[in-house]
Amino acid sequence: MITRLSRNFMYKVFALLLISFAMPVLADPLKVLRVSIPKAETGFDPERLDDLYSSDICWQIFDTVLDYDYLARPAKLIPGIVREVPAAEQNGRVYTFRVIPGIYFADDPAFKGKRRELVARDIEYSLRRLRDPKLNAPFSWLVENKIVGLDELVEASKRKGKMDYDTPVKGMELLDKYTLRITLKSPDYNFLYAFAFPQTAPVAREVIETYADDTMAHPVGTGPFKLVEWVRKSKIVLERNPNYRGAVLDTRYADMNNEWDREVIKSIGDKKLPLLDRIEIYPVEEEQPRYLSFLNKEVDILDTMHQIYAAQVLKNDKVVPSIAKQGIRVFQEIQPEVTYETFNMENPVVGGYDPQHVALRRAIVMGHNRDQLIQVVYKNFAMVAQSPIPPGVIGYDPTFTAQDQDYNQARAKALLDMFGYVDRDGDGYREQPDGSPLIIQYLNQTGLQYTKYSELWVKSMKNIGIRLVSQQEQFADLLRDQQAGKFMLTDSAWIADYPDAQDFLQLLYGPNSGSANRGRFKLPAYDKLYEQALRLPDSPERNRLYREMCRLILPYAPWRIGVHRAYLHLVQPWVHGFDRHPISHDRYLYLDIDVDAQQAALKK
């Protein structure tokens, strides 16, 4: 009797244990959003940031000086912690920032129990910190060679071996506690974009000095959320920042024809933000578990789904029935990004501006089967790029069409024949006009996705009789060789830092050779237009210059212009307010969750 009873009891305990193991999150009534990102984060110190996903997370913790409107497309600057977007004074040389009083940092032991208000000095400090020689900040270029007196201060600090945070800088005047005036060396109408980067988000000097080397793990900002748990490369947990000043959705720039915008307005409306209590972010680097965990409802948002699964989700622009049945919404986005392969313009085989070498590059470009790249590698989720400028940035011209970048085997072969690149020894591959062997070396990274690019290049070139050898290197070696110009043709992609075509056109600007301009393309006519455009605000006149620059590069083909990739972001039905931003990406500030629906789905 007793044994039977206790056995029964044991079964029940066991069953309870099983249930509690299976659903550990059920007891939680909070609004918890679970997101999966495709790359591991590195840390959350704004000035130290380099990678995309750490930056995106910092955008939830820190307030940037200027921000982007959630709904406006193309992206539009709005005030962040300042009263208004500063006007360009003195032809774009002077900008005045007026900080809103009464914004407080999240509480932290570094403040010794006092509430800490954000002031103009913090902006100034963060800009200096971005140039701290000890930090080697990857985004220091944002304020390099721009602000009067700052570069000189950095040079002096380098000599002293320690960054000078106290000596006043002429170009950064603190007019009062809440006002900072910045003076530039020369007019720059795109300068304000630098303040809509998480990398320039104000940090408190006490926090930085308290945590010294450990700032990556101690982000203290004024933003809507704060970091509460961090299992490195595995789980990042944010919770609502009680000191956050609150925000309301601005619907002025919404596009009412867009279903996503309508959904945002309907579900978020004029509620006080943020609405979420807790955000759990999971970096998952393998594609299979990332995709499966979303279908398993282990996460609520699948950020940037791999294109390989696109056909499982969308067919002929319609969500497939099995996905639609579950209410999953699919956000399709052409990111402000361009993929390209750059030739080394200083290489004796593929470089040069004379007709023979121009012809070789143009033939290689036309021989590369970009159509197949889009169909097979991107599963049709990509758009042919006509110029370096992607849609979604200011200066993009949808009518610009570059025929000479289109895949055309016959034209490529004809061009090679015309300039003496013919097969002389009958091995099926062409030689150079002087009879020496023609071997194109294609340099890219190791990894499954890059292998696909390589395979396509080898195939395409073989089809027009050119021998192409693919060399795949570890990331560090690739960067070294690209920078040192040790390549003939190499793979690259550029994603917008700020929504202006200038960010892309600088990739071919002569003086940027060796850094952003990896192919070392130098065309005086192009450089002249680039410098002219710098001195102009956004205007039809500047757009005309941008278009002309795009036209100038076509005959010389320094690039195989690739595609603008379309990305799919998958959202579970209980997530509301989702509208992927082209520059600031996912903003959890504007999201809401229907907890009942979430829990009901999990129970199933």
Provide, rounded to whole angstroms, the least separation between the CB of residue 216 and another protein: 5
Candidates 98-106, 123-131, 441-449, 591-599; binding stretch for another protein (CB under 8 A): 441-449
Provide, rounded to whole angstroms, the least separation between the CB of residue 75 and another protein: 20
Closest CA to 570 of 38, 19, 17: 38
Token pair of 559 as six digits: 């690039």
Among residue numbers 545 through 564, which ones bind another protein (CB under 8 A)?
A: 550-552, 554-556, 563
Among residue numbers 344 through 363, which ones bind another protein (CB under 8 A)?
A: 353-355, 358-359, 362
Amino acid, single-letter form, for residue 507 = L
Determine if residue 546 is left, alpha or beta; phi over 0 gives left, psi from -120 to 50 gives alpha, anything else beta: alpha
Q: Give residue for tokens 């979430």.
A: 598
| Single residue of 210, 243, 451, 599 touching another protein by CB under 8 A | 451
Confirm if 510 and 517 have CB atoms less than 8 A apart: yes
- Residue 604 carries which DSSP code? -
Does residue 410 interact with another protein by CB under 8 A? yes
| Single residue of 19, 30, 248, 311 touching another protein by CB under 8 A | 311
| Single residue of 381, 487, 504, 567 touching another protein by CB under 8 A | 381
The residues with which 236 forms a beta bridge, in sequence order, are 230, 281
| Single residue of 61, 227, 349, 415 touching another protein by CB under 8 A | 415
Among residue numbers 136 through 175, which ones bind another protein (CB under 8 A)?
A: 136, 138-141
Candidates 108-116, 186-194, 210-218, 256-264; binding stretch for another protein (CB under 8 A): 210-218
Does residue 521 interact with another protein by CB under 8 A? no
Does residue 516 interact with another protein by CB under 8 A? yes
CA gap 587, 577 in Å, rounded: 10
Question: Count of CB atoms within 10 A of residue 286's CB?
Answer: 10
Cβ proximity to another protein: between 130 and 273 the closer is 130
Among residue numbers 9 through 38, which ones bind another protein (CB under 8 A)?
A: 21-22, 24, 36
Cβ proximity to another protein: between 269 and 447 the closer is 447
Closest CA to 195 of 68, 24, 364, 55: 68
Question: Count of CB atoms within 10 A of residue 492's CB?
Answer: 17
Pairing of strands 467-473, 439-445: parallel
Candidates 4-12, 320-328, 380-388, 595-603; binding stretch for another protein (CB under 8 A): 380-388
Does residue 433 interact with another protein by CB under 8 A? no
| Single residue of 3, 257, 399, 436 touching another protein by CB under 8 A | 399
Provide, rounded to whole angstroms, the least separation between the CB of residue 366 and another protein: 10
Cβ proximity to another protein: between 2 and 22 the closer is 22
Provide, rounded to whole angstroms, the least separation between the CB of residue 124 and another protein: 23
Pairing of strands 32-37, 278-283: parallel
Provide, rounded to whole angstroms, the least separation between the CB of residue 558 and another protein: 13
DSSP states of 227-278: EEEEETTTEEEEEE-TT---B----TT--TT-HHHHHHHHHHTTPPBP--SE
- Name every residue whose Cβ is closer than 8 Å to that of residue 194 and which is 6 or more positions away in sequence: 142, 143, 200, 498
| Single residue of 90, 145, 167, 375 touching another protein by CB under 8 A | 375
Token pair of 430 as six digits: 């062409």
Amino acid, single-letter form, for residue 516 = A
Closest CA to 393 of 95, 94, 144, 190: 190
Candidates 100-108, 340-348, 402-410, 581-589; binding stretch for another protein (CB under 8 A): 402-410
Is residue 577 helix, strand or coil?
coil
Pairing of strands 301-305, 32-37: parallel
Token pair of 419 as six digits: 């300039």
Among residue numbers 466 through 495, which ones bind another protein (CB under 8 A)?
A: 469-477, 479-480, 483
Cβ proximity to another protein: between 135 and 247 the closer is 135
| Single residue of 447, 538, 539, 541 touching another protein by CB under 8 A | 447
Provide, rounded to whole angstroms, the least separation between the CB of residue 441 and another protein: 12
Provide, rounded to whole angstroms, the least separation between the CB of residue 99 and another protein: 28
| Single residue of 28, 164, 286, 425 touching another protein by CB under 8 A | 286
| Single residue of 448, 524, 540, 596 touching another protein by CB under 8 A | 448
Candidates 76-84, 102-110, 167-175, 457-465; binding stretch for another protein (CB under 8 A): 457-465
- Residue 46 carries which DSSP code? G
Pairing of strands 301-305, 563-571: antiparallel
Does residue 282 interact with another protein by CB under 8 A? yes
Q: Give residue for tokens 């595995």.
A: 234
Does residue 430 interact with another protein by CB under 8 A? no
> Residue count at the site for another protein (CB under 8 A)?
115
Is residue 195 helix, strand or coil?
helix
Among residue numbers 37 through 56, which ones bind another protein (CB under 8 A)?
A: 40, 42-43, 45, 48, 50
Among residue numbers 218 through 277, which ones bind another protein (CB under 8 A)?
A: 229, 231-235
The residues with which 95 forms a beta bridge, in sequence order, are 182
Candidates 162-170, 268-276, 370-378, 591-599; binding stretch for another protein (CB under 8 A): 370-378
Q: What Cα–Cα distance (Å) separates residue 20 from each residue in 14, 16, 23, 297, 599?
A: 10, 6, 5, 17, 14
Cβ proximity to another protein: between 224 and 392 the closer is 392
Does residue 510 interact with another protein by CB under 8 A? no
Question: Count of CB atoms within 10 A of residue 75's CB?
Answer: 23
3-state secondary structure labels for all residues of 283-340? ECCCHHHHHHHHHCCCCCEEEEECHHHHHHHEECCEECHHHHHCCCEEEEEECCEEEE
Does residue 458 interact with another protein by CB under 8 A? yes
Among residue numbers 73 through 132, which ones bind another protein (CB under 8 A)?
A: none
